[in-house]
Amino acid sequence: MGTMEERPLSLLICFILLSSGCLSSPPPDLDGDGISDSEDLDDDGDGWNDDIELNCSTDPLDGDSFPEDEDWDLICSILDDDDDGDDWSDSEEEECSTDPKSEMSVPSDLDSDGLCDINDEDADGDGLPNLWEEERGFDPMDPEDYMSCHGESVYCMRSYDDFTFPETHNAYSSVEDGVLIGVNHYTGLQSQWDGGIRAFMVDSHHRSDDNTSAEDVRFCHGTGQFFHPCLFGEVDAFEWISLLGSLMDNSSGDVVTLLIENYVPAEHLEFLFLETGMYDRIYTHTLGESWPSLGDLVLSGTDLVVFWEQSQNDDFPWLHDFGVFSWTTDYAEDSQEEMSCTVYRGDGSQPVWHLNNWLSNAFGLPDPVRAGEVNDYDALLNRSIECWEIMDNRPTFVAVDYWEDGEITNVTITMNKMSHWSDEVPQRP
């Protein structure tokens, strides 16, 4: 026990120590984690940093006051765009009528495109809008229940005049079909079809001056000044049209067009289409009305459109006068530089038109030597788009000779991916 003399000394020492801070009180540590509150990022030790709690409107100094976090992603619910962590934002879930607070309540998204079915105009992702499908008897919730037109479902909604068809000039006139003079192509209908051609120009005659019945209709070409046009090669029109019908029967959603330079009575053409079973699938258009969509033409069973180079005959309304229901550019120029986009036949007022794209040689015959030049992908595409711009109307048909030389079908594939001439040109097929 210290003496009385020692006590003042002890008190003095304690006083000095207290004054120097050596024996000061410990700093505040609300959660007792050994980190003073002034240095502690989480004063109340509830696992949420103080600044986050302030942003989340909870008390950073109260361990019983901490943010709500439904999905445990350390983002409080009032700041979390996806409270339940189901990869659908709260606003999306509200729009889709599901619970943004429950990971078990997830919007239905049949085609996995990020749009819930109730807000998705094409719920099954087949390229056809729900309403369009419903109106035509398709199931908008079944991606396997749809239709395709010219290889794409979206083309089914395109109107006939808002699509570009590859077309062969004098389609029947080929080496393969045994034509000897004035040949326009190397291969016949089957190859043209397989290559994507869906519009065909043909010339109808009787097979001779003495054989002029309806059964004698043939496809051939010539001046007829000195010799009968079929003398140097003919194709049986009945066989040719029958083959076309078979090809159409085995296709899916393709609309076909014929432009007939005709030299037989209309009754004989009618007989031709009746005999070959093609008559019932011919579409009849009313002048001045809008052209139907490709899909509706196919669904109605009228997937064949026929034009002819004669005046309109009211007794045969399905034979559309090409100069009234459509128009054409000039054709068979001497050089590529002479080709233009101006109206040659017709008045240019109709939305359906033929862009003729072939040259003649010095003898006035189809020119196989330069066909590859005018059918070249870049040359033909550039001309087609230029004419589209000038006329402010896409070519309905791009017609060529010797379709095998060049890329007529690839050109039209590219054009059909464009909705306007000013669109960026898609990558070459």
Residue 363 near residue 396 (C-beta atoms within 8 A):
no
pLDDT for 402: 97
DSSP 135: H
Same domain, 217 and 166: yes
141 and 172 together in one domain: no
Return the pLDDT at 364.
Answer: 81
Q: Check: CB of residue 188 under 8 Å from CB of residue 172.
A: yes
**pLDDT class of 8 with cuts at 50, 70, 90:** low
Q: Scanning the structure block, which residue is given the tokens 């054009």? A: 415
213 pLDDT above the threshold of 70: yes
Whether residues 119 and 253 fall in one domain = no
Q: Is residue 10 part of a domain?
A: no
Interaxial angle between packed helices 237-249 and 266-275, expressed in degrees from 0 to 180 and rounded to the nearest 10: 50
User: Of the candidates 95, 124, 146, which is a domain's last residue?
Assistant: 146
Domain co-membership, 141 together with 164: no
Give the range with max mean pLDDT: 17-26, 74-83, 108-117. Answer: 108-117
Bigger pLDDT: 179 or 54?
179
Q: Are residues 356 and 280 in the same domain?
A: yes
Same domain assignment for residues 129 and 185: no
Evaluate whether residue 70 is within a structural domain. Answer: no
Please determine, for residue 372, whether its predicted confidence score (pLDDT) is greater than 70: yes
Q: What is the sign of the dihedral through the CA atoms of 116, 117, 121 and 123?
A: positive
CA 92/CA 170 separation, integer angstroms: 57
Residues 188 and 261 in one domain: yes
Do 124 and 166 fall into the same domain? no
How many Å is the Cα radius of gyration of the chain? 39
CB 172 within 8 A of CB 229: no
Q: How confident is the model at residue 124 (pLDDT cuts 50, 70, 90)?
A: very high
Q: How many domains does the chain have?
A: 2
Looking at per-residue pLDDT, the higher value among 158 and 96 belongs to 158
Q: Rounded to two decimals, what is the model's pTM?
A: 0.81
What is the percentage of the chain residues whose pLDDT exceeds 90?
67
**Structural domain boundaries enclosing 139:** 109-146
Q: Please give the structure tokens belonging to residue 298.
A: 């196919």
Average pLDDT over residues 310-334: 94
Answer whether 235's CB lies under 8 Å from 220's CB: yes
Determine the average pLDDT of the residues in 222-234. 78
User: Cα–Cα–Cα angle for 239, 243, 248, nearest 5°?
Assistant: 150
CATH number at residue 262: 3.20.20.190
Say if residue 121 is in the same domain as residue 203.
Answer: no
The reply to whether 364 falls in a domain is yes
In the chain, % of residues over pLDDT 70: 89
